[in-house]
Structures are given as C-alpha cells and as structure tokens.
C-alpha cells in the first residue's frame, strides 16, 4: 500500500471538495481547482477529509494512488494558502519590469524579452531585480517560474542570470587559476 496514498487529506476551514463525473473539484477562499481522476483509483470526500483508494493492485493503480493523493493535497493547499515562487536577477544592467500582462526582461540580449503572464497567475516586481510569481495552481506557478529562469540561466563563471531566491550557484574558476 502506498504510504502517501493511504493517508487522508484534511480539509481546512473554508475549503469544500466534491467528486462528480470523474473530476475532483476543490473550492476555497482563493479560488477553485478541478482535476480529472484516473479510473484506477477512487476518491471519496467527507466533511473533513479527502481519501484516495486504489481499485486494484496492478502497477498503474499503485503508481496513480500516491500521485492522486499528492495532487489533491496540492489543490487543497493552493485554494487555502496559495503558492509563491521568487526569482532574482543578478547582473549589471539586468532588470525586470511588468507592463500590463507582459513581463519585460533585460538580461544581456540585444533585445528586451517579452513574456506573457498566463491567466491565473499574479506576477509582481517589487524592485527591478526581483520577480514574485503567485497563484493557486502549484504546477502552473512552478512551470512559469522555470520558463522565466530558462530565458537566462545563471552562468557558472560570474553568476549572472535569473535564479530562484536562495538558489546556490556553483562557481567555476576561470582561466587565471592555471598559472
């Protein structure tokens, strides 16, 4: 039995969950999320928790059991607290700005990069070298943060680029070390 899958997901105050037509819907103070349930598992909702049980003991059912429970837990946390990723920009002349629904980045290229902000996310730039990405969908927040970081990954020699806040960048010694 999956150790993750067998533990129930507690529902905090103000969060409601429902299962209908193979879809788990979770609604809370920050919004509403829905996810299609795999046919190899059964999701049950009562007043205080969401429980996931698998129908068989085959490989797919075992794999999807823990996954479905983890996704349900992420949905509950997302609609109650929300998720946030913070990025920082390191480099002389590197900066970020927000223009309506476009994130504008100057990160050492000849042209300014324009990245459209997906619906469902709130992107803010508290200053020119920091970006804050907030939303209720954990996957969407992480994917957008990864896409922005991939535009200019931190390079190992000077450490310039876009990185997650508190990310450790391994630095390499340059050519001068050989002498």
Q: Taking the CB of residue 14, how many other CB atoms lie within 10 A of it?
A: 11
Q: Do domains 9-80 and 83-164 have the same CATH topology?
A: yes
Regarding pTM above 0.95, the answer is no
Residue 150 has pLDDT above 90, yes or no: yes
Instruction: Return the higher-pLDDT residue of 150 and 175.
Output: 150
Could you tell me the two tokens for 126? 């508290």
Specify the CATH architecture of the domain 83-164: Alpha-Beta Complex (3.90)
* CA dist., res. 50 & res. 27, Å (int): 13
For domain 9-80, the CATH superfamily is: Ribosomal protein L6 (3.90.930.12)
> Per-domain residue ranges for the chain?
9-80, 83-164
φ, ψ at 169 (rounded to 5°) = -105, 120
* CA dist., res. 30 & res. 8, Å (int): 22
Instruction: Kindly report, residue by residue over 82-141, the tens digit of the pLDDT.
Output: 999 999 999 999 999 999 999 999 999 999 999 999 999 999 999 999 999 999 999 999
Under a CB-based contact definition with an 8 Å cutoff, are residues 115 and 121 in contact?
no
């Amino acid at each position: 039995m999956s150790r993750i899958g067998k533990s129930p997901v507690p529902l905090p105050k103000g969060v409601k969950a429902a299962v209908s037509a193979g879809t788990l819907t979770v609604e809370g103070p920050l919004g509403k999320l829905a996810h299609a349930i795999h046919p190899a598992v059964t999701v049950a909702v009562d007043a205080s928790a969401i429980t996931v049980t698998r129908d068989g003991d085959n490989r797919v059912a075992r794999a999807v059991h823990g996954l479905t429970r983890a996704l349900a837990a992420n949905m509950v946390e997302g609609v109650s607290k929300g998720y946030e990723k913070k990025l920082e920009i390191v480099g002389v002349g590197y900066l970020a700005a927000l223009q309506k629904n476009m994130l504008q980045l100057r990160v050492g290229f000849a042209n300014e990069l324009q990245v459209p902000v997906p619906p469902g996310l709130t992107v803010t730039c508290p200053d020119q070298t920091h970006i804050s990405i907030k939303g209720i969908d954990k996957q969407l927040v992480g994917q957008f943060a990864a896409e922005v970081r991939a535009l200019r990954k931190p390079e190992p020699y000077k450490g310039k680029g876009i990185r997650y806040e508190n990310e450790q960048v391994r630095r390499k010694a340059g050519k001068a070390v050989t002498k």
